[in-house]
Structure formats: C-alpha cells, structure tokens
C-alpha cells in the first residue's frame, strides 16, 4: 500500500471516529436518535400532561380493563401512583434487574421519557 492510500485510510477512520462521537453526544443530550430534545425534565412534571400520555402510548393497552396483563392495573392516578411507589414503574421501564422489562415486546422507552417519569416519581408523584 503506498503512502497516499494510507493517508486516505487514516482520514476515513478519523471522519468515522469524529461522527460517532457526535452521535454519542446527541444520545446523551437528547435521549436517543429517535426522540425529541429532552426538555421535558425541566420544571414540575405534570401527571396529566406528561405522564398519562406516555403511559397511554406505552402501557395502558395491556394494563387496563378487566384482565390487565400480569394482574398489574394502570390507568388511573391511584393505580399509577401505587405502581410508582412499589418501584415497579421505574424498575420495569428502566429494565432494571429483577423486573420484567416493559413495554413488553417493544423497544425500550427513550432516556428522556424514562428520565421524565423518574423525575415525576422522585418529586412525590403529584396528581397535577
Ligand atoms: C403488549 C402488552 C404490554 C405492554 C404494552 C406493557 N406490558 Fe407490562 N406486562 C405485560 C405482561 C404480559 C406482563 C406479565 C408477564 C411479565 O411480567 O412479563 C406484564 C407485567 C408487568 C409488570 C409486573 C412485572 C414485574 O416485574 O413485577 C409491571 C410493573 C408492568 N408490566 C408495567 C408496565 C408498564 C409500566 C408498561 C408501560 C411502559 C407496560 N407494562 C407495558 C404486558 C404488557
């Protein structure tokens, strides 16, 4: 291999390296390439405006009605708060050891969505 090809090779590798760093940062800042910028964790997290729409999209289809999956009832403030209090809400969406990963059979929720739910839990699970 002559010197020109080696330089070209190094250039290509550097460009790939730099662009992969760029994606890493984007992942950290925005919680994954497929999600909007994570501005949701600023301020007080509203149960009705932020948490319910997410649980509706990812959980309620299986965990409401007369025969909720795994006998885990969701869909009202009382049931969602109970699941948050016993640690199962955060444990399952964060795919923590000892919990069944949720939403079942689907991609993990984005870092931003998980962080938003965690903040709601940590700040007292307000019914707001
Ligand atoms: C496609 C259906 C489906 C969806 C969507 C779904 N679940 Fe589940 N879930 C199940 C089934 C089935 C079980 C029981 C079997 C198991 O534990 O894997 C279960 C079990 C659970 C459990 C008990 C597991 C444990 O480790 O104690 C919790 C808590 C739970 N789900 C929460 C959620 C949350 C929160 C969401 C939304 C992020 C969600 N689920 C979305 C089907 C679903």
Coil, helix or strand at residue 31: coil
Cα dihedral across residues 68, 126, 94, 56: positive or negative: positive
Average pLDDT over residues 33-58: 84
104 plus 49 within the same structural domain? yes
Considering the entire predicted model, what is its pTM? 0.79
Per the CB < 8 A criterion, the answer to whether 123 and 47 are in contact is no
89 plus 109 within the same structural domain? yes
Question: Considering only 13-17, 78-82, 93-97, which range has the smallest mean pLDDT?
Answer: 13-17
Task: Give me the pLDDT at residue 120, please.
Answer: 97
For residue 58, being part of any structural domain is answered with yes
Bond preceding residue 67 cis, omega within 30 of 0:
no
Domain that holds residue 89: 35-122
Number of domains in the chain: 2
43 plus 98 within the same structural domain? yes
Token code pair at residue 40: 């949701």
Average pLDDT over residues 7-25: 50
DSSP state of 100: -
Ligand 1 environment, Cβ below 6 A:
58-59, 61-63, 69-70, 72, 83, 88-89, 92-93, 99-100, 102-105
- pLDDT over 50 (residue 65): yes
């Amino acid at each position: 291999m002559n010197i020109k090809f080696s330089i070209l090779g190094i250039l290509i590798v550097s460009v790939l390296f730099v662009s992969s760093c760029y994606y890493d940062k984007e992942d950290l800042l925005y919680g994954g390439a497929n999600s909007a910028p994570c501005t949701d964790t600023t301020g007080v997290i509203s149960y009705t405006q932020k948490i319910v729409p997410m649980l509706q999209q990812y959980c309620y289809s299986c965990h409401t009605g007369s025969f909720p999956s795994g006998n885990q009832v969701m869909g009202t403030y009382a049931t969602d708060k109970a699941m948050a209090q016993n640690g199962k809400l955060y444990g399952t969406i964060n795919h923590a050891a000892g919990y069944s990963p949720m939403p079942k059979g689907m991609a993990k929720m984005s870092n931003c969505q998980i962080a938003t739910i965690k903040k709601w839990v940590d700040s007292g699970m307000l019914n707001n």
